Chain A
Amino acid sequence: MPEVSKMKKPDVKLVLLGDMNVGKTSLLHRYTERKFKDTVSTVGGAFFLKQWGPYNISIWDTAGREQFHGLGSMYCRGAAAVILTYDVSNWQSLAELEERFLSLTDTANHDCIYALVGNKADLTDPRAQLCQDSDEASKDRMDCGEERTETQVLSACPTPPASPVSLSGITPGKQVTPEDAMALYGRILRYKGLEEKSSLPAEKMCFETSAKTGYNVDNLFEALFDLVLPSILRNTNENQHSPTVDLEECRGAKRGRPGCC
């Protein structure tokens, strides 16, 4: 049987975790293809190889469906960053992160970084309704109109209403506040046994995004790429004397020995 060809080995791995329907696939689409398109619930998992400067970064999109839950640990093995995704309009999606997904990250690297990402911010935050990619702007606005009635209502008033409601940060429809996310971030650090002081601060690691409008999406990925750079450098160094090569060599050495028959 011919050897199945090995693919270009990525230098580092990022994993998107989170409940089904929170928009993991959409986030990855938005970042890699710069558009928001129809998705089907992910089966198993998929990954994307991002060329970032001289480095290859693999970004794994996992399936949120319960059925595939068991595969999560494997996907997280060796990850340098895990993006824990929830839906800002759905409290349960945040709760699931803690209950179901956090334990999957046990297999990640010991210095793995964790980002908490509240997606679908366009549903709750008028700022996130402004399309970010100018070239896609018109198209997206059209999408906005077609797809969801609640967005239509919101996008009808492009500037945030200066009501006390929005000032207090609780806009109708919003179920998860950034404070909730930051609190969870603190608990994640505790779960990992990490000192809050020596870890990346919550403000830096909690994001709100919209795959639909592109709000904050590039920021999220690029911030993470910057943060995993040390891991990349370590990996590329290790690869120069990688364990696989060692195995080859030691096997070669064994071949030289007289057989034991």
Chain B
Amino acid sequence: MSVKAFELVPAVERDLLMGDKARINIECIECCGKHLYMGTNDCFIHHFLLDEVTSSKGKLTYSAQKLLHKYLGLKKPVAELRAASALERLIVLCDGIVFLVDMVTLETVPSAAGGGAKIRGVTAFCVNENPVNGDPFCVEMGVISSKKRTVQIYMVYEDRVQLVKEVTTPEQPCAVSVDGYFLCLALATQYMILNYNTGASQDLFPYNSEDRRPIVKRIGREEFLLAAPGGLGMFANAEGVSQRAPVNWSESVIGAAVSFPYVVALDESFITIHSMLDQQLKQTLSFRDGHILQDFEGKVILASTKAVYVLVPLPLERQIQDLLASHRVEEALILTEGAQQNIPKDKFQILHKRILQQAGFIQFGQLQFLEAKEHFRTGQLDVRELISLYPLLLPASSSFTRCHPPLHEFADLNHLAQGDQEKVLRCKKFLISYLGEVRSTEVANGCREDVDTALLKLYAEQNHDSLLDLLASDNACLLADSVPWLEKYHKYFALGLLYHYNSQDSAALQLWIRVVDGDLQDSTRSGLYEYIVDFLCSCSNPDLVWKHADWALAKDPTIGVHIFTKRPVSKDVTELNPEEAITYLGKHSQALLLFLEHLVLERKIKKEKFHTHLAVLYLERVLSLLSEAPADEEHLSRARERLQALLRESNLYRAQFLLGKMENCEQLLLERATLHGKLEENGKALHILVHKLKDFSSAEAFCVWASCCRDSAYQQQLFHLLLEVYLDRSLPAKSQAAAGGGELEMAAVDLLNRHGEVFDAVRVLRMLPEGWSLQLLRPFLGRAVRASMHAGRTAQIAVGLAQSENLQLLHDRLKDRKKPIFVSEKKGCHLCHNTFSEPDVVCLPGGAPVHTHCVAQRVRDSPTKRQLTNSSNHT
């Protein structure tokens, strides 16, 4: 698993440094901007200017130009060099002495008056890159002194150094790094963190510094990288906690640095590059005689004993693309996401999305649809990128063009599948489910037509059930593109739906009709004919209905007529004018009949025209059945029943007109009787029923229905009429004889006995022939007597009740009036106007007292000698 993360570029070649002096070795380096300093074993400092040159092909090279070299005069190797650029000083360690050198002239800085510019007895030092002191013209430095078990903190100024702190350590330190107040130390047998401000310490882990050279490398704020036993690169923060998993180096690592997101390490013959994100070894570069590996302001510089190189990181995007190119999706994503903090937010988002999309396509190509989908989703893929992989799915009118540079390597689905049809099919299934999911989300915003049209095409091609659902619901399928596609796959029913959705009902109907007629083949919808009828039924365009109803009626009038009879009553569907419909249906007699039945019997429309028309049709039917020979009795009786029912129940048809139509028809006597009844020609009706049909029960029934909503007088009259017809002696004797001599009488008897209550018994008795036995009429008479008795008694009761009521009222009235009547010598009689001398008085109505004799006088005189007799005589 390798990735090309870095390139090793030569910076200062051997010739430039030492020419042919073979014994000269590089001991230490420092780089500060373009300035490269080198300390050698012969106590020289060399100063180069390092220029970056980018070739036309984008390749980076360095050109080094030697500015100066200077002998330090100590005859010992230069052990360490550090630039303090703000002070324009180099801090140099040579021969155990730290001193300052001018960065430009390389002259040793003389000690200032107030203090020394030299520290003696130093084995190693480090510069604090996260200083606690705010002074920009001052560098903080940690120093390991050869004095036992101490670390010293110095402030370095332009011309002097100042000791600010000295801390003791439990063992002799051999390497140091500092961040803020935290010293990270490699002691003889372990690493530790020491806060030089508080003195607090934290053991990290044991390590034998005699086995291996320790590495203590600050890699960021309060975080250090340490060489651990077993060739590990361990991370530790100032709290003594490891927050990243270790990387696995070789045992002999001599230098390490971090160039995010990589840890770069150098051993005797290799540069190894591990990712901090997944701890994996990503790249190995062979490097002979490696000696120094250090990073300066993000630039990783290596040196062998004789030459200097720069480890140039490849642009992150390039690395990610390399990973993707080798289908290492996970690593590419980890690398992308790991770089989040190092890239400006908006730029990162664009990059991240793109990588996610590319990752999705790689997984798509491997048929890992679940993963692909997730990446498409998080990467907010323009779904048309995916659709465009499938030939012909995007509508011709789509403005879409694939993104550039392309997100994947596939020309199209066939290229991807390499002719494997099974693969193609799986990809199509995936797209179906994916589009189905996204079409109603914001992913489809702005390209709904493209999405829906593609989905329609796939559904059609794959014979998918959801095709109809798509078309029956809200959709944005483009008609122009979809028509040929649906035709190609014989999805005519669906195509009709699409036409309908696009308000082209006429086209839809024509298409469907051709399917029903067998001109086109599409078995999608069984019962398409009924569907069309339904469709016309709720069709809001009357012209269309008129245009296609003929076809539907011709196909099956009983179902076809539903177009007219089942029209929903709502404001969306325009009402068809029934008269128009009737005219229209003229040529479809059966449908017409059904329609009239619908109007008259179901909707109960009260229109003479419809009722008469329907009755005529019924009649015609009956007549035509009658004319058949042999007659189909069953049909005939059913047809007559219908006719009779209509004649009986409706009051709206033109009875006279109908009567005229069957005047001569002796087979339709019952119907004629009914019509006469409707015309209130009850005599004629009953005559037919009794004498012609001899159907006494029908005659009775006639009386019942003909009077059913009339008053009892009418009813009585009708029944008397029937009785008269029965008892009519004026009829020729032959009819009597034919009636079996007494058949009519029997009918009369039955009628009386059955409906006695409606007759006026007295009138009946007068009519009945003398010779009839009492016994025969017993039920009638019995009932009549009882009825009359009953009536008499009821009347008596009524009288009694009325009287008692009257009495009651009288009583109440009296009670109301019952006031004392005063009689005294001072009051005068109303009649004679003399005063009373006795208590006996009579009261006039109104309560005025008068003398008894006066009243008597008055009664005698008055023409009405009544009343007053029962006058009260109260005192």
- Interface window among B52-60, B233-241, B697-705: B233-241
Q: Contact between B132 and A70 (Cβ–Cβ < 8 Å)?
A: no
Inter-chain contacts of A68 with B (CB < 8 A): 228-230, 232
**Bound CA–CA A64/B279 (angstroms):** 18
Q: Contact between B223 and A4 (Cβ–Cβ < 8 Å)?
A: yes
Inter-chain contacts of B219 with A (CB < 8 A): 4
Tell me which residues from 49 to 64 in chain A have a Cβ below 8 Å from any Cβ of chain B: 60
Q: Does B180 contact A (CB under 8 A)?
A: yes
Q: Contact between B132 and A5 (Cβ–Cβ < 8 Å)?
A: no
A78-B239, A259-B133, A261-B157 known; A1-B205 Cβ under 8 A: no
Inter-chain contacts of A261 with B (CB < 8 A): 135, 137-138, 155, 157
Contact with B along A1-21 (1 / 0, CB 8 A): 111111101000000000000
> Please, which residue of chain A has its CB at the minimum distance from the CB of B230?
A67
The one of B236, B298, B338 in contact with A1, judged by C-beta atoms closer than 8 angstroms, is B298
Q: Contact between B245 and A45 (Cβ–Cβ < 8 Å)?
A: yes
> Please, which residue of chain A has its CB at the minimum distance from the CB of B218?
A1
The one of B134, B221, B260 in contact with A259, judged by C-beta atoms closer than 8 angstroms, is B134
**Bound CA–CA A65/B230 (angstroms):** 10
A4-B223, A261-B135 known; A70-B205 Cβ under 8 A: yes
A2-B342, A74-B205, A261-B138 known; A44-B248 Cβ under 8 A: yes
A1-B297, A67-B229 known; A75-B134 Cβ under 8 A: no
Q: Contact between B132 and A254 (Cβ–Cβ < 8 Å)?
A: yes
**Bound CA–CA A75/B245 (angstroms):** 10
Q: Interface size on B (CB < 8 Å)?
A: 48
Q: Does B243 contact A (CB under 8 A)?
A: yes
Q: Contact between B234 and A71 (Cβ–Cβ < 8 Å)?
A: yes
Q: Tell me how far the C-beta of B822 lies from the nearest C-beta in chain A, rounded to whole angstroms.
A: 108
Tell me which residues from 188 to 209 in chain B have a Cβ below 8 Å from any Cβ of chain A: 203-207
Inter-chain contacts of B243 with A (CB < 8 A): 7, 9
> Please, which residue of chain B has its CB at the minimum distance from the CB of A58?
B243
Q: Does B560 contact A (CB under 8 A)?
A: no
Q: Does A247 contact B (CB under 8 A)?
A: yes
Inter-chain contacts of A73 with B (CB < 8 A): 203, 205
Inter-chain contacts of A45 with B (CB < 8 A): 242, 245-246
A47-B245, A259-B134 known; A70-B295 Cβ under 8 A: no
Q: Does A251 contact B (CB under 8 A)?
A: yes
**Bound CA–CA A43/B248 (angstroms):** 7
Inter-chain contacts of B295 with A (CB < 8 A): 1
Q: Tell me how far the C-beta of A13 lies from the nearest C-beta in chain B, rounded to whole angstroms.
A: 8
> Please, which residue of chain A has its CB at the minimum distance from the CB of B244?
A7
A74-B241, A251-B180, A261-B157 known; A3-B221 Cβ under 8 A: yes
Inter-chain contacts of A78 with B (CB < 8 A): 239, 241
A4-B260, A261-B157 known; A44-B132 Cβ under 8 A: no
Inter-chain contacts of A46 with B (CB < 8 A): 245, 279
Q: Tell me how far the C-beta of A181 lies from the nearest C-beta in chain B, rounded to whole angstroms.
A: 28
Among B155, B234, B247, B295, residue most surrounded by chain A Cβ atoms (within 10 Å):
B234
Q: Does B655 contact A (CB under 8 A)?
A: no
Inter-chain contacts of B135 with A (CB < 8 A): 259, 261
Q: Contact between B230 and A77 (Cβ–Cβ < 8 Å)?
A: no
Inter-chain contacts of B230 with A (CB < 8 A): 43-44, 65, 67-68
Inter-chain contacts of A256 with B (CB < 8 A): 134
**Bound CA–CA A68/B129 (angstroms):** 31
Among A4, A74, A256, residue most surrounded by chain B Cβ atoms (within 10 Å):
A4
Contact with A along B246-285 (1 / 0, CB 8 A): 1110000000001010000000000000001001000000
Q: Contact between B129 and A44 (Cβ–Cβ < 8 Å)?
A: no
Q: Tell me how far the C-beta of A249 lies from the nearest C-beta in chain B, rounded to whole angstroms.
A: 13
> Please, which residue of chain A has its CB at the minimum distance from the CB of B228?
A71
Q: Tell me how far the C-beta of B114 lies from the nearest C-beta in chain A, rounded to whole angstroms.
A: 11
Q: Contact between B260 and A44 (Cβ–Cβ < 8 Å)?
A: no
**Bound CA–CA A90/B252 (angstroms):** 35
Inter-chain contacts of B223 with A (CB < 8 A): 4
A44-B228, A70-B206, A251-B180 known; A1-B245 Cβ under 8 A: no
Q: Contact between B342 and A5 (Cβ–Cβ < 8 Å)?
A: yes
Inter-chain contacts of B248 with A (CB < 8 A): 43-44
Q: Does A255 contact B (CB under 8 A)?
A: yes
Q: Does B341 contact A (CB under 8 A)?
A: yes
The one of A47, A65, A255 in contact with B134, judged by C-beta atoms closer than 8 angstroms, is A255
Q: Contact between A74 and B240 (Cβ–Cβ < 8 Å)?
A: yes
Q: Contact between A75 and B298 (Cβ–Cβ < 8 Å)?
A: no
Q: Tell me how far the C-beta of B31 lies from the nearest C-beta in chain A, rounded to whole angstroms.
A: 12
Q: Contact between A257 and B240 (Cβ–Cβ < 8 Å)?
A: no
Contact with A along B510-528 (1 / 0, CB 8 A): 0000000000000000000
Q: Contact between A44 and B232 (Cβ–Cβ < 8 Å)?
A: yes
* Top 6 A-B pairs, shortest CB-CB distance: A4-B220, A44-B246, A5-B341, A259-B135, A255-B134, A70-B206
**10 residue pairs A–B, Cβ–Cβ below 8 Å:** A4-B223, A5-B220, A5-B341, A44-B234, A67-B229, A73-B205, A74-B240, A74-B241, A260-B133, A261-B135
Residues of A within 8 A of B (CB): 1-7, 9, 43-47, 60, 65, 67-68, 70-71, 73-75, 77-78, 107, 244, 247, 251, 254-257, 259-261
**12 more A-B residue pairs beyond the given contacts A44-B234, A71-B205, with a C-beta to C-beta distance below 8 A:** A4-B260, A4-B276, A5-B340, A9-B243, A43-B230, A47-B245, A70-B205, A71-B229, A77-B240, A251-B180, A259-B138, A261-B137
Residues of B within 8 A of A (CB): 129, 132-135, 137-138, 155, 157, 180, 203-207, 219-223, 228-230, 232, 234, 236, 239-248, 258, 260, 276, 279, 295-298, 338, 340-342
